[in-house]
Amino acid sequence: MLAVYFLWGGFISVIDEIEAKKNITLEQLQYLLEGNEADYLKERALAVRRGIYGNEVFIRGLIEFTNYCRNNCYYCGIRRDNQNADRYRLSDEEIMDCCTEGYRLGFRTFVLQGGEDGFYSDEKICHLIKAIKGQFPDCALTLSIGEKSRESYEAFYKAGADRYLLRHETANEVHYRSLHPKNLSLRNRKECLRNLKDIGYQVGAGFMVGSPGQTTKTLYDDLQFLRELNPHMVGIGPFIPQHDTPFANKKAGTVDMTVTLLSIIRLLLPRVLLPATTALGTIDPMGREKGLMAGANVVMPNLSPKRVREKYALYDKKICTGEEAAECIECLKNRVNKIGCSIVCDRGDYR
């Protein structure tokens, strides 16, 4: 079925209307999530991505430097109460080694990602930032270390951090409560994101697709929040249950729904940096390719040492835990080339 709307003196499809207005209604979202016009949606999202970024795919080197976390998000495999998590912290030297190897392989963006680990004072983080930026001044440095005070974010920015990833997870208050314990609040999460943007970071938000309790309405709230925040990056991937969490028996999100939402986000925020996530590649061997062909333009291979890869188990059956960084990037280059795109070795800034 083709839904048509009367706009600007003519009838156009729902997808053209979303693209033209860079907005979506709840009904239009429902219509697209039902799978209607899926091919045309992907086609338009791909065209928009190509118009801005061509066929270039940006790479970000992910360094998962600690899996300690003081929080207890119900969906997360490294939550505080998971006694089965094998905890680790990388030493500063190990982190620098990851960057050195990443640089050799062509990475010009490093992402320092970890749980909210009290071991890392602001001082320690600033020290790390300065060390990495001192040795690799032509690289962008992204932090993904959770909720902090505005003062901390300012200190990291002053030390040289360029970007910050903080998925909002859901912009719906009731849904947020069902995914997080009481000490965490959506209000604070949003406040953090606004502070980060205000300070001058390139900011990434995002959410899981198919998380327990998610509805079309909560997704609609997510999309409207993203339009309002207008982040530089949006990371979305399917929810995948982790066996040691309260959500162990919940159903995973789907490839189709994730891909549909990637395309919609590309139409709403045409310039946004949009990763085809590892989680998408985990639920479908061709998931990342499907994401890239639906409007995504970033991949984030892992630069963490092989010995800790499996320990950063946010969800089950995560792919690419057995390969060295060099093997990962070779594999990804081939995959990306096969779909007519190419990996570029620069900072991959927002355009």
Write out the residues near ligand SF4 by the rule CB under 6 A.
69, 71-73, 76, 78-79, 115-116, 146
- CA dist 248 and 242 (Å) reads 5
Pick between residue 45 and residue 203 the one whose CB is nearest to ligand SF4: 203
Query: Smallest distance from the beta carbon of 170 to ligand SF4, in angstroms?
Result: 12
Pick between residue 114 and residue 305 the one whose CB is nearest to ligand SF4: 114
Report whether 221 contacts 170 (CB < 8 A): yes
- CA dist 179 and 181 (Å) reads 7
- CA dist 58 and 108 (Å) reads 10
Pick between residue 73 and residue 203 the one whose CB is nearest to ligand SF4: 73
Report whether 116 contacts 145 (CB < 8 A): yes
Query: Smallest distance from the beta carbon of 214 to ligand SF4, in angstroms?
Result: 16
Query: Smallest distance from the beta carbon of 204 to ligand SF4, in angstroms?
Result: 14
Residues 6+ apart with CB under 8 A from 320: 278, 281, 301, 302, 309, 328
* 312 SS3 class: coil
Pick between residue 79 and residue 175 the one whose CB is nearest to ligand SF4: 79
Query: Smallest distance from the beta carbon of 122 to ligand SF4, in angstroms?
Result: 17
Q: Backbone dihedral region of 113: left (phi > 0), alpha (psi from -120 to 50 degrees) or beta?
A: beta
Query: Smallest distance from the beta carbon of 228 to ligand SF4, in angstroms?
Result: 23
CA angle 279, 284, 290 (to 5 degrees): 90
Pick between residue 188 and residue 230 the one whose CB is nearest to ligand SF4: 188
Pick between residue 66 and residue 195 the one whose CB is nearest to ligand SF4: 66
Query: Smallest distance from the beta carbon of 155 to ligand SF4, in angstroms?
Result: 20
- CA dist 80 and 103 (Å) reads 33
